[in-house]
């Protein structure tokens, strides 16, 4: 720095990094004598996108908007639909309210796994305590956010026992002791 190492405002540097590079999270900024300041950064994992005002905004794993919005959706990112009102969105802003945190574990898992059993995710919607997962191949899967691990386990067991479950199902509800499964309707042959 161009000033004394003891006069460097580390909090101001943190804010400047966040503003200039919204796709990273500042994990630590430290002074090293005699004349260095070192920042340790972590790239945010982009887990979803939100839509507001006709624009799509990518969202990091901590709820931060990581880039400016654009008119076309980001390919390969599920759309996160939440009941909470979103304020002004822009790079560096946060949507880390309760609705985001209900979906964040599911979004991170889906991002890490590249979807669900080979099926890309189209959207995740938060409705109160419920999480609705929409796959691009059609099925809707319902979880309860406070019992997500149990629902995820049940889904894994069902996929193993019924190989074409996601291909043949229109709806899976994992909120209950016995999962509810509705098959896709077969088109009738009319001759």
Dist CA 31 CA 71 (whole Å): 42
Residue 172 has pLDDT above 80, yes or no: yes
pLDDT band at 51 (very low <50, low <70, confident <90, very high): very high
pLDDT band at 117 (very low <50, low <70, confident <90, very high): confident
Backbone angles phi, psi at 19, to 5 degrees: -75, -40
Stated pTM of the model: 0.76
Dihedral (CA of 127, 100, 116, 109) sign: negative
Residue 59 has pLDDT above 90, yes or no: yes
At 148-168, the pLDDT tens digits run 888 888 888 898 898 888 888
Dist CA 164 CA 5 (whole Å): 63
Dihedral (CA of 61, 63, 69, 74) sign: positive
Better pLDDT: 17 or 79: 79
The pLDDT assigned to 30 comes to 92
Looking from the CA of 161 toward its CB, the CA atoms found within 13 Å total 6
3-class SS string, 97-141? CHHHHHHHHHHHHHHHHCCECCECEEEEEEECCEEEEEECCCCEE
The pLDDT assigned to 190 comes to 52
Residue 40 has pLDDT above 60, yes or no: yes
Residue 49 has pLDDT above 90, yes or no: yes
The pairs formed by 4-11 with CB atoms below 8 angstroms and a separation of 24 or more are 5/31, 5/33, 5/34, 5/35, 5/36, 5/37, 6/31, 8/37, 10/37
Tokens of 106: 């599911």
Smallest Cα–Cα separation from 21: which of 6, 43, 39, 48? 43
pLDDT band at 188 (very low <50, low <70, confident <90, very high): low
């Amino acid at each position: 720095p161009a000033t004394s190492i003891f006069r460097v405002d580390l909090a101001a540097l943190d804010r400047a990094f966040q503003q200039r590079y919204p796709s990273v999270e500042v994990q630590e900024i430290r002074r090293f004598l005699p004349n260095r300041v070192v920042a340790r950064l972590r790239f945010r994992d982009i887990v979803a996108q939100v839509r507001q005002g006709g624009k799509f905004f990518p969202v990091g794993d901590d709820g931060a908007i990581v880039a400016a919005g654009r008119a076309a959706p980001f390919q390969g990112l599920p759309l996160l639909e939440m009941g909470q009102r979103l304020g002004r969105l822009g790079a560096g802003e946060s949507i880390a309210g309760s609705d985001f945190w209900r979906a964040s574990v599911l979004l991170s898992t889906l991002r890490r796994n590249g979807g669900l059993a080979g099926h890309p995710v189209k959207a995740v919607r938060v409705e109160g305590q419920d999480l609705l997962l929409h796959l691009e191949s059609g099925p809707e899967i319902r979880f309860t956010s406070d019992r997500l691990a149990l629902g995820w386990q049940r889904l894994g067991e069902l996929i193993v026992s019924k190989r074409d479950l996601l291909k043949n199902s229109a709806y899976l509800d994992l909120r209950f002791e016995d999962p509810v499964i509705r098959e896709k309707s077969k088109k009738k042959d009319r001759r």
